[in-house]
Structure 1
Amino acid sequence: MRYRTIGTDPAHRREVSVLALGAMLFGSRTDEETSFAVLDRYVEAGGNFIDTSDNYAFWEDGGQGGQSEELLGRWRRSRGIGDEIVIATKLGARPLAPGTGYIDNGEGLSAKVIRESAERSRERLGVEKLDLLYAHIDDHTVPQRETVEGFAELVAEGTVGLLGVSNQAIWRVERARAIAAAAGLPGYEVFQYAHSHLRPRTDVPEDLFPDGSLGHAGAELFSYLRAEPGLTLVAYSPLLKGTYTHPERLPADFDHPGTPARLAVLHEVARETGATVNQVVLAWQSGGELPIVPLAGASSVAQLEENLAGIDLELTPEQRARLDAAH
């Protein structure tokens, strides 16, 4: 397993494996026995970077989430896991009542919510300190300064280490980071956005969040990463929910003339290396010039094994250049 440093402050930065394990469905769709087996194998292989959220997986039972964090807490206790495993969680998108959602009734990013939600996450996970805490989605109803200061207070108190941001417009992220920098406060250093080898269309609006803030990592974010050393992209949905194995699952916004060319190169490189297309995608993401950590879930140990082999796959410069250039 290879590792990458996230964070710049020596007091909080961590060395994390270049494959993060997504725990979204652990404790809900993925039963406890299977979840524990996947977690155990991931750690055995050298993995130490696990991702969850306080709202996972509210949609599975019409509740408010928390199942994933609770399962990870039980796993930590049963295995004697300490701070050698970096667990990242998120807040801001937990429904405030069962049967509602994060768009119409989400918890938001007020200072009060940040403090109370972070405390509940620490309790569910069974940790004294959250290694990495993300703002899950944006909240335009709260002044950004309040959100920035709310997160910074937890860092100052020692209950949170690194700060991250997910699914927000880049100009909003930059504004929040500028507010933090001007006040001498810690800011977002880890970005979590959807990213894969296939690219979505850019000529249609995204509608998952009401402000259109959800975005696949694109040119603007990559430019920002190049300009701001020390930032890291944690790339969720790198395998597009099984699309590379099941082409019929291709999301509508990926159905455009550029997709066949990129798929063709992926299959060429897979044949050349004897790897699966999924493995080529993970190798391409994790071994490039930009600081990218793919975040992939697994509902079985077999799926995890395939992902682990992808991280070990080494692409030649020529193969990487072809993958980059396809369009």
Structure 2
Amino acid sequence: MTALNLALGTMHFGTRQDAPTSFDLLDRFVDAGGTLLDTADCYAFWADDDGHGGKSEEVVGQWLAGRPGMRDRVYLSTKVGAEPVGPGEWPANREGLSAKAIGAGVEGSLRRLGTERIDLYWTHMEDRSVGLEETAGALAELVGAGTVARLGSSNHPLWRVERSRQIARGHGWAEFTALQLRHSYLRPRPGAPVAGQDHPYGWVTEETLDYVRTDPELTLWVYTALLNGSYTRPDRPLGEPYQHVGNDRRLAALGRVAEELGVSRNQVVLAWLVGGEPALTPIVGVSTPEQLDEAVAGVRLELPAEHRRLLDEAA
């Protein structure tokens, strides 16, 4: 079975979704050919009574522990930098990206996941109180020790990603080879802040796509690919950043393609993401088997050239 270019987002495992439900979804994902699991040390602190994350990693770790040999079949992706660690309000009280915070963060993630290695370790949010060299050095030490196989950057402006990569190259250190940002078929209005942040750096832009397209070492994972159900659920209207005339045209094109192919809008969006240039890896969170099956079918759907052209030209 061909591996899926789809990451299962486990943000709400252990909080909104209990462990048995989470285990069933993980089993179904792997049975369908899925290998990529995405979590973070802060998931989901806002949904837990104690105000701290770690429940998602714990559930994934419990699932792995109950299935001998499964660790070698899946690719674990987790993040550091956004977990609340002190008094005050988030995000001011998050752990950040100092060498000390990264060391403590990876130790906790390894313990909760029940593993000796993390396949892809992301800096979750930028931390301008810490020098890029300190962060890059701490991450490189993890790679050198074999604790982490690969490094990624999430929600950082591109200039800081590139500066960090140059610092790493200058020292002969491991560098970022993956980006994780928010992206879907519909486009936000320019300058809109990403949800939960006060800046627009978390969106995929044309500059992002050009950067990835021209650097064969880089891959791009995209979250909120299905806009939290807004493509298919009337009870989940589009957020304000997406309400503009360009998206009206995109929605019309999306609806036409979905109708002509006899599939859902969600499936068209996923097919568009994975089949473009560059090919992107969508992260999709699901709460039911039906949602998971829909996502799997979407990334396996091949859009005819005329339909991709219709989607691309609508703007």
Task: Tell me the TM-score normalised to structure 1 length.
Answer: 0.92
Compute the displacement of 1:204 (Å): 4.2
What's the secondary structure of 1:34's corresponding residue? Answer: helix
The one of 226, 238, 254 equivalent to 1:239 is: 226
Identity of aligned residues (%): 47
Structure 2 residue 86 is matched with structure 1 residue 97: yes
> Which AA in structure 2 matches 1:323?
L
Distance 2:296 2:89 in 1: 36
Question: Residue 321 and residue 2 in structure 1: after superposition, are their counterparts in 2 closer, same or farther (change >3 A)?
Answer: farther
Cα offsets for 1:235-283 (capped at 9, x unmatched): 1000000110124420110001111100111111101111100000000
Match of 2:104 among 105, 112, 116: 116
Out of 70, 76, 95, the residue aligned to residue 87 of structure 1 is 76
Distance across 1 between alignment mates of 2:8 and 2:35:
8
| Alpha-carbon spacing, 1:148–1:318, altered in 2? closer, same or farther (3 Å) | same
User: C-alpha separation between the residues in 1 aligned to 2:176 and 2:54?
Assistant: 23
Q: What is the 5 A alignment of 1:1-327? A: 2-3=2-3, 17-62=4-49, 63-80=51-68, 81-97=70-86, 100-101=89-90, 103-205=91-193, 208-210=196-198, 212=199, 214-247=201-234, 248-327=236-315
User: Counterparts of 2:138 and 2:34 in 1: how far apart (Å)?
Assistant: 31
Q: Is the 8 A contact 2:87 2:93 kept in 1?
A: no
**Structure 2: how far apart are the matches of 1:205 and 1:82?**
37
Structure 2: how far apart are the matches of 1:144 and 1:312? Answer: 39
Shift of 1:228: 1.1
Q: Secondary structure, in 3 states, of the residue corresponding to 1:83?
A: helix
Count the aligned residue pairs: 312
Please state whether the residue corresponding to 1:189 is helix, strand or coil: strand
Deviation above 3 Å: which 4+ runs of structure 1?
Answer: 97-100, 203-208
What's the offset of the Cα at 1:207? 7.1
1:98 and 1:308 mapped to 2: Cα distance?
A: 41
Aligned amino acid, residue 249 of structure 1: P
Note if contact 1:138-1:213 (Cα within 8 Å) is conserved in structure 2. Answer: no
Q: Distance in 1 between matches of 2:301 and 2:188?
A: 25
- Contact map agreement 2:267 2:294 (CA 8 A) in 1: yes
Q: 2:297 is aligned with what amino acid?
A: A
Q: Secondary structure at the match of 2:72?
A: coil
CA change 1:200–1:132 in 2 (3 A) is same
| Maintained 8 Å contact 2:52/2:84 | yes
Deviations 1:106-133, CA, capped at 9 Å, x for gaps = 1000011111110110000000001110
Contact 2:213 2:277 in 1 (8 A): no
Deviation at 1:83, TM superposition (A): 2.1
Given that residues 193 and 200 in structure 2 are in contact (C-alpha distance below 8 angstroms), is that contact kept between their aligned partners in structure 1? Answer: no
Output the CA distance in 2 between the equivalents of 1:207 and 1:301.
27
CA–CA distance in structure 2, aligned partners of residues 196 and 108 of structure 1: 27
Secondary structure class of the residue paired with 1:160: coil
**1:206-227 Cα shifts (integer Å, max 9, x gaps):** 57334x2532101110111122
Task: State the distance in 2 between where 1:177 and 1:84 align.
Answer: 30
* 1:244 counterpart letter in structure 2: Y
**Alpha-carbon distance between aligned partners in 2 of 1:61 and 1:197, rounded to the nearest angstrom:** 31
Q: Is the 8 A contact 1:208 1:214 kept in 2?
A: no
Do the aligned partners of 2:154 and 2:181 also contact (CA within 8 Å) in 1? yes
Q: Is the 8 A contact 1:191 1:232 kept in 2?
A: yes
Cα distance between partner residues in 2 of 1:320 and 1:178: 36
User: Counterparts of 1:160 and 1:203 in 2: how far apart (Å)?
Assistant: 34
Instruction: Give 3-state SS (helix, strand or coil) of 1:290's partner.
Output: coil
> Structure 1: any 5+ residue segments left out of the alignment?
4-16
| 1:79 Cα deviation after fit | 1.5
Instruction: Tell me the distance in 1 between the aligned counterparts of 2:71 and 2:16.
Output: 26
RMSD (CA atoms) = 1.5
Q: Distance in 1 between matches of 2:253 and 2:202?
A: 24
The alpha-carbon distance between structure 1 residues 126 and 206, as it changes in their structure 2 partners (threshold 3 A), is closer
Q: Structure 2: which amino acid aligns with 1:215?
A: G
